[in-house]
Amino acid sequence: MKKEIFNQIVQLIASARGPHTCRTTMTELQKTFQDVPFHTLRSILSQEICRKMRFAHSRHKSRGDEYLQHYMDERGPSQTTLVSMAAEIGLSPALLARVILEAFLRSKEKDLDGEGSLSKFITKLLRDTTLIEDRQLAVDVHYCVLVDDQYGPLADAINHSLGQQYEHSLSLQLSERNIPFLTEDQMRNLGMDKTPDIKLEVPIAVNGFIIHWIESKALFGSEEWHDKYVKKQLSTYWNRYGPGMVVYWFDFVDSLQVMHEKHLLVANCLPPNIVMMDPQIRP
């Protein structure tokens, strides 16, 4: 994807306002960028929302007691109280539910050891709202989770499912081409501590670039997310195994092609022009 198009998509997302912003924004994105696939637009939208929520979390967390009191005063038989609040303050419904739950637990003086334990317990409650003592709060939090497919437990489940689906697809495509490889699980069973999704048992080449491993990403490759993956994952793979390839199945911004060209090939599919080494040919 041209960087200019990517910037236009990001600008449209940034300008979105009002209730049910995620869904209305997705509809507007599809109308405006009809040549861009649905999953690509959804991935960019999800990344922008995550970035926005990451910066907004601490500010809204400090107002947790205020939000909790407002919720307690306004809640009723309808399940939409928290969702409406989230739209009013520009926060993800799932993230507001987390802020409210933390304030609620602290008001009950729950005996939890440290902030880390509290955070894990809240995540557990978001995934299983039947554990929340307050019945009305449990129903409202559950509704927040259900309507928020861009942030929170539902979004995590969708992204995990997509990741598994495309990793499986990559394995099938390699098998169909008779390219021998080890999966991440097989590498771990062998005791390897740095495990890309695919470790090729025999290197392949694409346009003269030698590839020893492949990482599958069921998302859009922006500069920000790519840089994060390089620092946390990809650089450890090329330091251990040599140059490799990352596949962003939902496309990537074209500027990535030259960011790490000596170590990494960036693609949006398994390239058709793969050349395999013939062990019978000697130099």
Which of 283, 233, 282, 224 has its CA nearest to residue 256?
224
**Pairwise CA distance, residues 47 & 220, whole Å:** 9
* pTM flag (> 0.75): yes
Q: Are 44 and 225 in contact (CB under 8 A)?
A: no
Q: Which residue has the tokens 């062998």?
A: 190
Q: Delimit the domains of the chain by residue range.
A: 3-151, 159-276
**Pairwise CA distance, residues 266 & 274, whole Å:** 14
**Strand-strand pairing, 274-276 and 264-267:** unpaired
pLDDT per residue rounded down to tens, the chain (283 residues): 999 999 999 999 888 765 446 777 888 899 999 999 999 999 999 898 888 887 777 778 888 889 999 999 888 777 788 888 888 888 889 999 999 999 999 887 665 555 458 888 899 999 999 999 899 999 999 999 998 888 889 888 999 999 999 999 999 999 999 999 999 989 888 888 888 999 999 999 998 899 999 999 999 999 999 999 999 999 999 999 999 999 999 999 999 987 777 889 999 999 999 998 766 655 5
